[in-house]
Amino acid sequence: MRLRNLNMTRDYADDLKLFRTRQSKASIVAVLALALLLPVLLPDDFWLSVLVYAGIFAIGAIGLNLLSGYTGQVSLGHAFFMACGAYTTMMLGTRHELPLPVWLLASAVVGGLVGGIVGPFALRLRGNYLAVISLGLVFLGQHVFENWESLTGGPGGNGSTAPLSLGFLDFNALAVGGRAYTRNQSFFWLVWALVFLSLLIAKNIVRSRPGRAMQAIRDRDVAAQVIGVSLGRYKVGAFVVSSALAAMAGALFATYQQFIAPDSFNLFLSIQFVFMIIVGGIGTVFGSVIGALFAGLLPALVSKYGGSIPFIEQQPGAGGLTVFQVNQIAFGVLIILFLILEPRGLAAVWLRIKAYFRAWPFSY
């Protein structure tokens, strides 16, 4: 009979566990239950829509965190990979009306392939140089998509209505057990189910051999190479997985909005992803989700309750800052503040709180 000690890591196996304690298992179950019940408890379209966007971005942010947070490869090209997924869906889902699993997986595969092509640049370039290359991808992508009119509809964009049925489940309007649910409710479940799937994939990558290799590359790539970590395999691999997740987010984004224009996938979107992982917590998996929720809820709160904040204009056109400007300013300011004051993001705050209670009453 082994004595269970909940507060310490005593051997290597402890580090590898997905759920280290009974509490963590219980909390996962609680979160899942909340996700299942939330659309029923809160059928408000506005908030559901905000949470659906947050879920879509969370999938992309998990991908970026694997690449930048765990492997240390700075990328501003995340919007481009998202666009690849969106337009794969437009091709297969909207035009050829292939079913949901097909276009969703195909988007991930195409995104992964494109990531695999871009990945090798990371073997030659580091830091700022890689950031500039990936920045170029965004503009290259916009140019290509704006001129590929037969697929994208040109700069004016195009409707995107891919089929959303999975067997007897239709995510346009779920009807389960004699009860009908709205599109937003149905989509919420679909998106957050995929968020949990992505979390599981990411968590399993980072707690196993590839994850350790990625972190070694992030911390000291030369040293990692010396001890036998293949830079090529893991850098390109990180690009592939990260882009596949971004593309999956793009596919959901296009289908949820039922319309996309090339301009949707601009530099600001990439910056938003960077914001999410910095605020959420670089180098943590669940931090990506926190960051995406934060990035999604912040503008929503500003636009919903902006009326009670003094310097935001009440009547559009009446002067003062607009909601959009406030968001952009807030994003910039928060990135700076978090990097200076809380570089490990909200996830670190959460872990500190947890540690405090774990060691209570002897927390110093």
Partner 1 sequence: MKRKNLRWLSAVLSVVALLGAACGGSDDDDAGGDNGNKTLQAAPGFDPAAGVIRLGVISPLTGPVAAIGVPLTAGNRVWFDHINAQGGIAGKYKIELDAKDSQYIPQNAIQRYNEIKNNVVMFAQLLGTPSTNAVLPQLKTDNIVASPASLDAEWVRQPNLLPIGGPYQIQMINAADWLMKEGGGQGKTICTMTQDDVYGQAGQQGVDFAAKELNFTVKTQAKFKGSAPDFTAQVQQLKGAGCQVVFLVSTPTDTGKALGTAAQQGFAPQWIGQSPSYIGALAQSALKDYLARTFYLAGEGSEWGDPAVPGMKPMLDRLRDYQPSQQPDYYFAFGYNQARAVTQVLEKAVELGDLGREGIKRAMEQVGTLTFDGLSGDYKYGPAAEREPPRTSTLFKINPDKPIGIERVKYDYTSDAAKKYTFAEAK
Q: What binding mask, one character per residue, do residues 318-337 give for partner 1 by CB under 8 A, x or -?
A: ----xxxx------------
Which amino acid appears at position 210 of this protein?
P
Residue 81 structure tokens? 């990979």
Q: Is 174 in the site for partner 1 (CB under 8 A)?
A: no
Q: Is 165 in the site for partner 1 (CB under 8 A)?
A: no
Q: Is 231 in the site for partner 1 (CB under 8 A)?
A: no
Least distance from partner 1 to the Cβ atom of residue 160, Å:
8
Least distance from partner 1 to the Cβ atom of residue 159, Å:
5
What is the Cβ-side half-sphere exposure of residue 168, based on CA atoms within 13 angstroms?
4
Least distance from partner 1 to the Cβ atom of residue 163, Å:
14
Nearer to partner 1, 230 or 258 (CB): 258
With CB under 8 A as the contact rule, the residue among 167, 177, 178, 316 that binds partner 1 is 316
Q: Is 45 in the site for partner 1 (CB under 8 A)?
A: yes
Nearer to partner 1, 243 or 266 (CB): 266
> Could you tell me which stretch among 56-64, 157-165, 212-220, 231-239 binds partner 1 (CB under 8 A)?
157-165
With CB under 8 A as the contact rule, the residue among 101, 159, 332, 343 that binds partner 1 is 159
Nearer to partner 1, 24 or 257 (CB): 257
Interface positions, 105-134, toward partner 1 (CB under 8 A): none
Q: What binding mask, one character per residue, do residues 279-308 give for partner 1 by CB under 8 A, x or -?
A: ------------------------x-----
Interface positions, 56-115, toward partner 1 (CB under 8 A): none
- Residues in contact with partner 1, counted by CB under 8 A, come to a total of 26
Least distance from partner 1 to the Cβ atom of residue 56, Å:
12
Q: Is 186 in the site for partner 1 (CB under 8 A)?
A: no
Q: Is 157 in the site for partner 1 (CB under 8 A)?
A: yes
With CB under 8 A as the contact rule, the residue among 139, 148, 259, 305 that binds partner 1 is 259
Nearer to partner 1, 246 or 346 (CB): 246
Least distance from partner 1 to the Cβ atom of residue 181, Å:
15
Q: CA-based angle 26:189:110, to the nearest 5?
A: 110
Q: Is 15 in the site for partner 1 (CB under 8 A)?
A: no
One-letter-per-residue 3-state SS of the chain: CCCCCCCCCCCHHHHHCCCCCHHHHHHHHHHHHHHHHHHHHCCCHHHHHHHHHHHHHHHHHHHHHHHHHHCCCCCCCHHHHHHHHHHHHHHHHHHCCCCHHHHHHHHHHHHHHHHHHHCCHHHHCCHHHHHHHHHHHHHHHHHHHHHCHHHHCHHHCEECCCCCEECCEECCCCEECCEECCHHHHHHHHHHHHHHHHHHHHHHHHCCHHHHHHHHHHHCHHHHHHCCCCHHHHHHHHHHHHHHHHHHHHHHHHHHHCEECHHHCCHHHHHHHHHHHHHHCCCCCHHHHHHHHHHHHHHHHHHHHHHHCCCECCCCCCCCECHHHHHHHHHHHHHHHHHHHCCCHHHHHHHHHHHHHHCCCCCC
